[in-house]
Amino acid sequence: PPPSPLPPSPPPPSPSPPTECALQLAALTARNAYLLTEIERLGGNTSALLPDPSDLSPSPSPSAPITATSPSPPPPSPSPPPSPPSIPSSGIAILAGDSNTVTPLFCLWPGDEAVTSSVAQQASRQMPKTDIAAQCCDSKQPGRGGCRRRAKTDGTPSDSNNDCIAGMHHGSTNTFVAMTYGETVAKCASMDLVLCGQSCSGKGCFYNFHPVFSSVPCDDASVAPALSATKLP
């Protein structure tokens, strides 16, 4: 059988009726054209009524003023670390770690800030170990009860040799850290402690075998008789 004929195409859509704005624009255009024609018929100049094409070009927006910006100042340099304390003019007594008195082994004087051992010092007796050990005391707890050779970071006493203030050197274990006078003062201060006015004998870490730092002044009358052979001119 012959193919079925295609259905007829739909009629094109009717044009949309002009809007009110379009009608008003068309009326104004026609009126302007009529007025221009009348002016020309009467011999008038219509060029003055037409806008200058240059006026129709968009005027450039004013450029923003260029403000010179000064470079940001560099950040301030970090403050240098405070200088370690110097040995006082009265000197400090280095005591025997196993002593129960303030009889000094030898003294340190201003200029001895780098000394960390009894080597080359005029010691009253030789200790098994030459390195000077750090020990600290609680200023609020007088006497031996305030002694710390083992201390936690907050300054409270410890029973562990892992908390030895200057480490430990005994047998095959050697975690000892040699310290100067200034480093010892700073270490004690970091735990809210101070240098001791005595030797904390028997308080652990095998410091009985070492010389130990103290706060005892070497020109103290109570220790002066023992210093005649140790105080250098």
What are 58-81's pLDDT values in tens digits? Answer: 555 556 566 667 788 888 878 776
3-state secondary structure of 34: helix
- Using CB atoms within 10 A of its CB, is residue 184 exposed (0-12), middle (13-18) or buried (19+)? buried
CB 193, CB 213: distance < 8 Å = no
pLDDT of 110-140, one tens digit each?
999 999 999 999 999 999 999 999 999 999 9
Tell me the C-alpha to C-alpha distance, in Å, between residue 135 and each of 36, 177, 199, 212, 233.
111, 12, 8, 7, 28
Section 214-231 average pLDDT: 62
143: confidence class by pLDDT, cuts 50, 70, 90: confident
Q: Give me the phi and psi of 34, to 5 degrees please.
A: -65, -45
Q: Are 158 and 190 in contact (CB under 8 A)?
A: no
For residue 18, pLDDT over 60 is answered with yes
